[in-house]
Structures are given as structure tokens and as C-alpha cells.
Copies of this chain bind each other. A is one copy, B any other.
Amino acid sequence: MSAPPAVEALIDLMAKLPGLGPRSARRAVLHLLRKRALLLLPLADALSEVARTARECVTCGNVATADECPICTDPKRATGTLCVVEDVADLWALERTGAFRGRYHVLGGTLSALDDMGPEELGLPRLEARIARDGISEVILALNATVDGLTTAHYIADLLENRVLVTSLAQGVPVGGELDYLDDGTIGAALKARGRL
């Protein structure tokens, strides 16, 4: 063993992060040791702080450091529109666009017979209760365009039928996309949903 046990333990843990392997974890730890004041100490503090305070927002499921997340407690956000996403990463992706100013609901997964994820496990009764309680008028289903995501979207749309307007993200050509490189399904969907210029 060339490094002290505490340093080896840190390298082993860093190597478990997505995007880092054993070699890049070693490189990252050496970088931390070289930038002690600038990076190692602040990162140790930030990680301890997050480990101490981070939890799930009781209302929407986003990451929070209090009972509710910054979005649920923001009085400037519209309360009538609810955007349903699969996980927190999707919520953050939507937030980065700045295009949505309503509230969110994080499912934490999709319906999946293989993974034993039924409507109960996905917290759909909780979603229904929230829609009734908060007087939601539109539910935007922003689930991934995968088989599981579409299945879940259709299930939720059926569940909420006649109670609230249910919409979903448009399917079509991505910005900057070239037709020649797109799959047939996407081109077909874009053609079907074409609009006036």
C-alpha cells in the first residue's frame, strides 16, 4: 500500500461515483490534496453539510434542506400547473431551461412490472390527493419518451381523466437536429404534429 489507509479508503469511495473509475478517483484525490485550502477543505465541509441537511421535499420529492424545497416555497411560482417528472435529474433539467414557472411532482420512477413498481409504490394516490388539495388545473406529464415512461404517462392520463387537463411534452425534431440522422418514429411524430409556420 503506497498511500495511508485513510487516503486509500477515500479513493475507493470516490471510485464509486458515476463518471469516475479507480484511476480517475486517484487523480481526483491527488488534485484535492494539492488544492487543500481551495478545494479539499471546502468540499469536505460542503459534503458534511449536505449529508447533515439534505432530504426529500415532503410536497414534490425534489432535494431539499428544509421540509419543503426552494421551488415549493417560492411564492412567485404558479400553483395551478403541476409538472410530473420521473426523477430529480429531470426536474433540474426542466428548471435549467427557465421555461416552466409552475410546481413539480417527482414520481421517483415509472410503473414497471419487472421492478414491482405499481401505482401505490409510485405514490399515485399521493399525487391525486395533491391535485385535489392544491386546486391544480393542468398536469404536464414530462416523463421520458421510453416505453416505461409512455406507459406510465398513459396510466396517469387515464387516472386523472375528467378531473384535470392532462398534457404531455411535444414530440418532434430536436433543436439543431438533422432529419437524416433521426429515427423514423421521431420523423413520423413530427410530421403528424406539424404546425403552421
A179 within 8 A of B: no
Give chain A's interface residue range (CB within 8 Å of chain B): 35 or more
Q: Is the CB of A47 within 8 A of B51?
A: no
A residues with a Cβ closer than 8 A to B are 1-7, 9-10, 13-14, 16-20, 24, 26-33, 36, 39-44, 46-51, 53-54, 62-66, 69-71, 87-89, 91-92, 95-96
Nearest B residue (CB) for A14: B43
- On chain B, the residues within 8 Å of A62 by CB distance are 2-3
Answer whether A92 and B3 are a contact pair too, CB < 8 Å, given A41-B51, A54-B33.
Answer: yes
The A contact surface, by secondary structure, is: helix
Q: Are A18 and B6 in contact (CB under 8 A)?
A: no
Report the separation of the CA atoms of residues A64 and B1 in the bound assembly, to the nearest whole angstrom. 12
